[in-house]
Amino acid sequence: MIAVLKQGTTPQQTQYLVNWLKNMGMDVHISEGKEVTILGLIGDTSRVDIELLNSLEIVSTVKRISEPFKQANRKFHPKDTVVEIGNVRIGGGHFAMIAGPCSVESLEQIIEVATAVKKSGADILRGGAFKPRTSPYAFQGLKDEGIRLLLEAKKATGLPIITEIMNIRNLDLFEEVDIIQVGARNMQNFDLLQELGKTKKPILLKRGLANTLQELLMSAEYIMSEGNENIILCERGIRTYETYTRNTLDLSAVPVLHELTHLPVVVDPSHATGRATLVPSMAAAAAAAGADGIMVEVHNNPACALCDGAQSLTPEQFDKVNRHVRQIREVLL
């Protein structure tokens, strides 16, 4: 970490600051130039509050040289993390296709979708049981019953399952769930992250609606610092001024995260775009960008013409998406 002091800083002020930093365990290297004095901080700078330092009257600017995340940092763990879920692997060259309905609605529905996506090559079944909804009056999911139905579908198809947790008090219900999803709205629910860090469950951590990639990695760090390293990062669109799509899918997050961290990265084009017509293109693009997995919504219900909706693909559409995604991966090998 580099701190540049303002012109006019007195030697006493500089010394005061240097002592304060040394008390925090930093080694401080002072370089006095004609116009500015530069302090180089060496040691575990992840403990230094950069905003506080920056705000001191005598400090002009502060710049981190090392990233504030450690366990998630590729510099210290160059090898890709491979998250294993039964026979399925994500990361380090292993790719997983995650598919399923937005919400679990009934046993018939979830079994039907699970069977269809398995046939088309899905590796993992997704389905919402606890649903975070903007409105308290909207359907909030089947909750524990939803998890029970997912487990039935797992039994019927052999597909591992992923579903979202909203409250750490429900952790017991997730005992047989294969991957626990932390939704975008909970990416900085630090208490929840810490509790999940105490489990050994694979965690799929979604990027928050307006969070930077560094903040995403700091949230992964919260989980890892408690001992759980089975983390899958998920890009799912960020909030911008553009209103045509629900969110703006930030696919550059994939190669950036691959540079910064050893953790696997998956992409959710369904929630990002909010429109089924855009999902095939964006799933293909995610594969081309190097994603370690893709998570798409698939519904059944061919009888209901009305339900051909929103962001969900039909099983037929999913079949084609899956094929393209795998072929694109082969091109890039």
* The pairing of beta strand 83-85 with beta strand 88-90: antiparallel
274 φψ region: left (φ > 0), alpha (ψ -120 to 50), beta (else): left
Indicate which single residue of 22, 55, 119, 227 sits in contact with a second copy (rule: CB under 8 A).
55
Measured from the CB atom, the residue of 4 and 107 that comes closer to a second copy is 4
Interatomic CA distance for residues 109 and 107, integer angstroms = 5
Interatomic CA distance for residues 256 and 59, integer angstroms = 30
Indicate which single residue of 86, 92, 93, 139 sits in contact with a second copy (rule: CB under 8 A).
139
Least Å from the CB of residue 283 to a second copy: 9
Q: Is the dihedral of CA 188, 191, 193, 194 positive or negative?
A: positive
Interatomic CA distance for residues 250 and 257, integer angstroms = 11
User: Per rule CB under 8 A, is residue 15 in the interface with a second copy?
Assistant: no
Q: In residues, how long is the chain?
A: 333
Least Å from the CB of residue 210 to a second copy: 3
Residue numbers 258-317 binding a second copy by CB under 8 A: 259, 272-278, 281-282, 284-290, 305-311
Are the CB atoms for 258 and 213 separated by under 8 Å? no
Indicate which single residue of 8, 11, 33, 78 sits in contact with a second copy (rule: CB under 8 A).
33
The token duo for 114 is 């699970």
Residue numbers 160-219 binding a second copy by CB under 8 A: 166-167, 169, 185-186, 188-191, 194, 209-210, 212-215, 218
Residue numbers 99-128 binding a second copy by CB under 8 A: none
Range in contact with a second copy (rule: CB under 8 A) among 79-87, 93-101, 144-152, 323-331: 323-331
Give residue 182's Cα distance to chain centre: 8
Measured from the CB atom, the residue of 44 and 84 that comes closer to a second copy is 44
Least Å from the CB of residue 93 to a second copy: 16
